[in-house]
């Protein structure tokens, strides 16, 4: 699993590649939290367009970051959910907490 983190305006964009599981969860959590603090952003966007696998450990990282930015008055969103992980997303209930967008541009428009 890999990810790119970059800031666009008031939004931190986390683009996740590959498999997001227990092994990836710990360092992803640390890196994202550290970047939220360092960049001073308000909102968070997870771009999952290049994700190939996710389980409850990866989803837990997303949920935890959603809670953090929400507590600070920000919003979090998800874009580009691949078809093979849609069922996991639905069962997790994350789609009832966070808005899902088909692509990053739509999400940026909403968050920005």
Q: Which residues bind other proteins (CB under 8 A)?
A: 19, 21-23, 25-26, 29, 53, 55-57, 59-61, 63-64, 67, 84-85, 87-88, 91-92
Q: Which is nearer to other proteins, 83 or 109 (CB)?
A: 83
Closest approach of other proteins to the CB of residue 65, in Å:
9
Cβ contacts of 110 within 8 Å, gap of 6 or more: 77, 99, 101
Closest approach of other proteins to the CB of residue 6, in Å:
23
Long-range contacts, 23-26 (Cβ 8 Å, 24+): 24/57, 24/58, 25/57, 25/58, 25/60, 25/61
Q: Which is nearer to other proteins, 7 or 68 (CB)?
A: 68
Closest approach of other proteins to the CB of residue 76, in Å:
14
Q: Which is nearer to other proteins, 95 or 106 (CB)?
A: 95
Task: Tell me how far apart the alpha carbons of residues 27 and 43 are, in angstroms, rounded to a whole number.
Answer: 20
């Amino acid at each position: 699993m890999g990810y790119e983190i970059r800031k666009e305006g008031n939004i931190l964009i986390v683009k996740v590649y590959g498999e997001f599981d227990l092994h990836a969860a710990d360092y992803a959590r640390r890196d994202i939290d550290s970047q939220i603090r360092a960049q001073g952003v308000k909102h968070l966007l997870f771009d999952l367009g290049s994700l190939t696998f996710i389980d409850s450990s990866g989803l837990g990282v997303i949920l935890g970051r959603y809670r953090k930015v929400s507590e600070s008055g920000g919003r979090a969103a998800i874009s580009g959910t691949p078809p093979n992980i849609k069922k996991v997303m639905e069962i997790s209930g994350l789609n009832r907490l966070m808005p899902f967008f088909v692509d990053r541009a739509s999400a940026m428009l909403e968050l920005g």
